[in-house]
Copies of this chain bind each other. A is one copy, B any other.
């Protein structure tokens, strides 16, 4: 696409935030695998929760949340979390936190 690069665009707060969430997916996503399907391994996702969401999630919630979310995900039997699932998981964690704050 023309004109899409090289410009020093100042992103809005929301845009920067979205970019950060996407970059975080890329950071934990498996880059090399034979089928080039990509996605985050469940073990990496757990590591991500520990490292990147340590202030948001208490220890108890972390374990509880991970357990619950992974159970819900297990239906597709896939060991890799794709972008859709990743995005949905973050959304669920946010709702979980909101409920706990009320």
- At the interface, yes or no: A79 with Cβ under 8 Å from chain B? no
- How extensive is the interface on chain A, given as a class? 20 to 34
CB nearest to A90 among chain B residues = B18
- At the interface, yes or no: A84 with Cβ under 8 Å from chain B? yes
Q: How many copies does the complex hold?
A: 2
Give 29 CB contacts A-B under 8 Å: A1-B101, A4-B58, A10-B55, A11-B56, A12-B51, A12-B52, A12-B55, A13-B24, A14-B53, A15-B52, A15-B55, A15-B56, A16-B17, A16-B20, A17-B17, A17-B18, A17-B20, A17-B21, A18-B21, A18-B56, A18-B94, A21-B21, A83-B91, A83-B94, A83-B98, A84-B91, A87-B87, A87-B88, A91-B91
Q: Given the complex, which residues of B lie within 8 Å of A14, measured CB to CB?
A: 20-21, 24, 52-53
